[in-house]
Chain A
Amino acid sequence: DVKVTQSSRYLVKRTGEKVFLECVQDMDHENMFWYRQDPGLGLRLIYFSYDVKMKEKGDIPEGYSVSREKKERFSLILESASTNQTSMYLCASSLRRLGAFFGQGTRLTVV
């Protein structure tokens, strides 16, 4: 089975902190994605990567950056956390244009 693992289930951070969300997949997938999920807004794509060291902006990249130094790991970085970044963050991976498999999610609260 595909396994996508996010480093934390719950995080509480202070406004202005730099936050790292880590994601690891074990199926050698080329594509990896970071989404945030908010009530009434559904899943929104922040960034994605289709290869090591490659990254592309999604629909809402502002305030975020990403890093993909190894194929299996995709990190989401909040440069200076703000309260409007309180959300559920979901990492996913996929093989080429097939369906994406998601991690369990990280619920981030910024206070």
Chain B
Amino acid sequence: GESVGLHLPTLSVQEGDNSIINCAYSNSASDYFIWYKQESGKGPQFIIDIRSNMDKRQGQRVTVLLNKTVKHLSLQIAATQPGDSAVYFCAENYGGSQGNLIFGKGTKLSVKP
């Protein structure tokens, strides 16, 4: 079946560097995408979203890029900080009317001081 996936299960970066977390999606009907951050022992936290009519969206220190041609989504975190250490996962809305999301398995980001 169609599902959201991630290229890298773990990512280790140096504090201050930029981080890039990738996600591939397979459902061409998906038109809305979200990135979540989940810290240990907590629920997922909404970071940023993007609709399929956009290629790029920026937030505070985060940027999401969408490449519909190759069905690829990425999350860029600028000047990564220790507090960014968490599991990040993407989600897609495949067009269902009720807002159901398909979630990827997650990438663990570790920030080295």
| Residues of A near any B CB (own CB < 8 A) | 4, 31, 33, 40-43, 45, 48, 50, 56, 58, 90, 94-105
Chain A residue numbers with a CB within 8 Å of B97 are 97
Q: Is B99 close to A, CB under 8 A? A: yes
* B61 interface residue (CB < 8 Å to A): no
Given the interface contacts A42-B89, A98-B49, A99-B49, does A48 sit within 8 Å of B100 by beta carbon? yes
List which B18-36 residues lie within 8 A (CB) of chain A: 32, 34, 36
Across the interface, do B89 and A99 meet the contact criterion of CB distance under 8 Å? no
Indicate whether B101 reaches chain A with its CB closer than 8 angstroms. yes
28 contacts between A and B (CB under 8 A): A31-B98, A31-B99, A33-B100, A42-B103, A42-B106, A43-B44, A43-B89, A43-B103, A45-B100, A48-B98, A50-B98, A50-B99, A90-B43, A90-B44, A95-B99, A96-B99, A97-B32, A97-B93, A97-B98, A98-B49, A99-B49, A99-B91, A100-B91, A100-B101, A102-B44, A102-B45, A102-B46, A103-B43
B36 closest partner in A (C-beta): A102
Give Cα distance in the complex from A40 to B42, angstroms: 17
Nearest 5 A-B pairs (CB), nearest first? A102-B43, A43-B103, A97-B99, A42-B105, A50-B98
Q: Assuming the A-B contacts A42-B89, A42-B104, A42-B105, are A104 and B98 also in contact, with contact meaning beta carbons closer than 8 angstroms in the complex?
A: no
New A-B contacts (16) at CB < 8 Å, excluding given A31-B98, A31-B99 = A33-B100, A42-B103, A43-B89, A48-B100, A56-B98, A97-B93, A97-B96, A97-B99, A98-B99, A99-B32, A99-B49, A100-B34, A100-B101, A101-B46, A102-B44, A102-B46
